[in-house]
Amino acid sequence: MPPPSDIVKVAVQRPGAFAQLIDLDQKKPLERIIKEVCESWNVSDSESYALQFTDGAQIYITEKNRHELKNGAILHLTFSARKTAKQLLEKIRGPGSNERLDALKQLAKLSIDVTLAVEFLNHHGLEPLMFIVEGGKELGEILAFTLTCIVELMDHGYASWERFCQGTFVKKVVSYVNKTSMDATILHYSLSLLESMLQCNNHLYLIIISELERPQLITHLAVSNQDIQTNALAVINALYMKSPLEKKQGMAKLITQKELRQTILSHVIHNGRRIHTDMAHQLHVLQRLCLNLLEMRMLIKMDPHDQSQRDALFDLRNIAFDNMELQDRHKSVYAKDYKKLGFQDNVNPAQDFMVTPPGMLALDNMLYFAHQHRSAYVRLVLENSCREDRHECPFGRSSIELTRVLCELLQIGVPPSETAQSYYAMMFTQEHAFEEFFCICIQLLNKTWKEMRATQEDFDKVIQVIREQIQRALLVQPEKFEQFRKALQALTYADILKLRQTDRMNQEQGDFKSPPIRELRETIRPEILDLIKQQRLTRLCEGTLFRRIGRSRRQDKLWCCRLSPNHKVFHYGDVDEDSSPPAIETLPEKCERDVLPEFLVQPWRIL
């Protein structure tokens, strides 16, 4: 007979004693169970003891986590969290350095357990740890383990960061980060503390930003220790995300500077090691922050009265048609040029930039393409201006819609995810990564337009294909823009059609094999077969015209064949050209259905 579900069979160990095998009743209070275990070993003062897991993090067993106990678990009888916290605190406050170090090592290990951490904090244990840091006398193991303990204790969220607002502790931690050469553990946990303080308290942000040497963070990204790299990048991200509005522009220079990108490429992405999940998340955050700097331009409409914006449009026209002097051009000729450029409103192309998104970001992309890839821009515009109006790929309209698609794919304006690890390494290779991304894709759009032999009516269809091409090319995780370009070139329109068909077939096969679909098919199968039979018989009764093939294999006259209403006799005969099937009575020849050869009768017998 199996034991009751509330009974868990476990072993309890204690140094210097034989282990006990007990039936732990989950309905019984934990204090009573501990008391019974202590009594069996003649241990007094059971209130000072607790049970602890022996595997994993060796956390204390409490009323909240006792449901995790399984049959066969091995437990350890040890001092309670309260007594352990008091003992550790006495040693940390004591005069002996060796005892203090041992206590800090033990606390660093045990403070992962929220039960011990809460007891230690309740006994004001954070103050002596802060005193060690603020005193500045320790720089070795004692300081390293002290910082470790503070990080672990604060990570549980039971203590407020307000107690650090006086600044002495914060400035000391910042000084460790500002040093070029520092113990790896001290630097790791100092960076971790800075990130947490930046995230949790605005006053601490002001203290940190005034003391921190920001270029030193990039130096820490160049080390080989990936934990330090991750924390350094996390601090950089936090500096921007938590900066006041008036400081955003200055912090934007930090996350977009060339030195940061190059350091990330050389020492993080291309260092030959696998990037762990925490670093991948921080790279995701940084890339999303950089791309979101484009959000303002994406949401700004064009001002038709702004001369600088109007000059930008003239600039696009002049680069494409630079053999024509501006002062010699009439307004009607401008309109023709803007039409060749592919704007929907060729009289006032500013109207094309009134939709947000993509707003002015589309014009920025077009200008970048025209200036940085001048020959490709001119070739694209002139090539389409020479086609028929129906078949030309409108550069202006395409650029605006493509920019909108890219904003959606790269999620511009969407805050960084708290858990995502996705990023594109190639976006760290260019100062104007989004603009280069656009330049590659607009040329792809023109290529795909030609492959599809598209007309103006097919514009939305072309955009759908382009979106799919870009999405599929990004799946290969190209590390350079040239790799991305080659991936796009390999995805022709014909390839997209094949991939769509394959995806559809795979989905259908998966759907058709599901039990509900199979059951439904069997249920409606007789009804469907009967419907097919009736449709075929109806079609035979209506009659069909055929070309009669003579002995010379020439197609001579037409003839008609109809099935009688009782479905037993075929009536057939010659008919005139361009005539519909005649009445069945007018067809002179007939044939009984049952006398037809078997291979002809078979289709109807199936019915």
pLDDT (tens digit per residue) in 130-176: 999 998 777 789 999 999 999 999 999 999 988 888 889 999 999 99
d(CA 271, CA 282): 17
**Residue 499 vs residues 212, 475, 477, 483, 488: alpha-carbon distances, Å:** 52, 14, 19, 20, 14
Cβ 168 vs Cβ 211: under 8 Å: no
Tens-place pLDDT, residues 392-420: 899 999 999 999 999 999 999 999 999 99
CATH number reported for the structural domain that contains residue 22 in this entry: 3.10.20.90
CATH number reported for the structural domain that contains residue 272 in this entry: 1.25.10.10
CATH number reported for the structural domain that contains residue 598 in this entry: 2.30.29.30
**Domain edge (last residue) among 50, 79, 108:** 79
d(CA 31, CA 51): 10
Residue 521 belongs to some domain of the structure: no
What type of residue is 315?
A: D
Q: Which residues contact 600 (CB under 8 A, 6 or more apart)?
A: none
Say if residue 104 is in the same domain as residue 71.
no
Say if residue 550 is in the same domain as residue 562.
yes
Q: Give the largest CA-CA distance in the chain.
A: 123
> Which pLDDT belongs to residue 332?
61
What radius of gyration, in Å, describes the C-alpha atoms of the chain?
Answer: 39
Query: Quick one: what percent of the chain has pLDDT higher than 70?
Result: 94
Say if residue 125 is in the same domain as residue 162.
yes
d(CA 209, CA 247): 11
Residue 225 belongs to some domain of the structure: yes
Say if residue 14 is in the same domain as residue 64.
yes
Tens-place pLDDT, residues 69-118: 899 899 999 999 999 999 999 999 988 889 999 999 999 999 999 999 99
Starting at the edge strand found earlier in the chain, the sheet holding 555-563 runs: 544-549, 555-563, 569-575, 589-592
State which H helix or E strand residue 278 sits in. Answer: helix 277-292
**Residue 142: both structure tokens together:** 């004692």
Residue 523 belongs to some domain of the structure: no
Residue 506 belongs to some domain of the structure: no
d(CA 524, CA 506): 23
Residue 578 belongs to some domain of the structure: yes
- Domains identified in the chain, total number: 4
d(CA 159, CA 150): 10
> Which pLDDT belongs to residue 604?
44
Say if residue 59 is in the same domain as residue 71.
yes
Say if residue 185 is in the same domain as residue 301.
no
Please state the rounded mean pLDDT for residues 33-44.
91
Say if residue 116 is in the same domain as residue 168.
yes
Please state the rounded mean pLDDT for residues 30-49.
91
Residue 66 belongs to some domain of the structure: yes
> Which pLDDT belongs to residue 444?
97
Say if residue 60 is in the same domain as residue 132.
no
DSSP at 583: P
Q: Is residue 548's pLDDT more than 90?
A: no
**Domain edge (last residue) among 53, 79, 105:** 79
Instruction: Name the 3-class secondary structure at 24.
Output: strand
Tens-place pLDDT, residues 416-441: 999 999 999 999 999 999 999 999 99
> Which pLDDT belongs to residue 92?
94
The predicted model scores a pTM of 0.80
Task: Give the domain extent around 47.
Answer: 7-79
Say if residue 102 is in the same domain as residue 45.
no
Residue 515 belongs to some domain of the structure: no
Q: Is residue 323's pLDDT more than 60?
A: no
Say if residue 74 is in the same domain as residue 87.
no
> Which pLDDT belongs to residue 346?
85
What type of residue is 138?
A: E
Q: Nearest CA to 146 among 99, 103, 200?
A: 103
- Scanning 353-458, the segments in alpha helix (DSSP H) are 360-372, 374-385, 395-409, 433-452
**Domain edge (last residue) among 291, 316, 343:** 291
Q: Is residue 506's pLDDT more than 80?
A: yes
Say if residue 264 is in the same domain as residue 119.
yes
Say if residue 121 is in the same domain as residue 158.
yes
Residue 317 belongs to some domain of the structure: yes
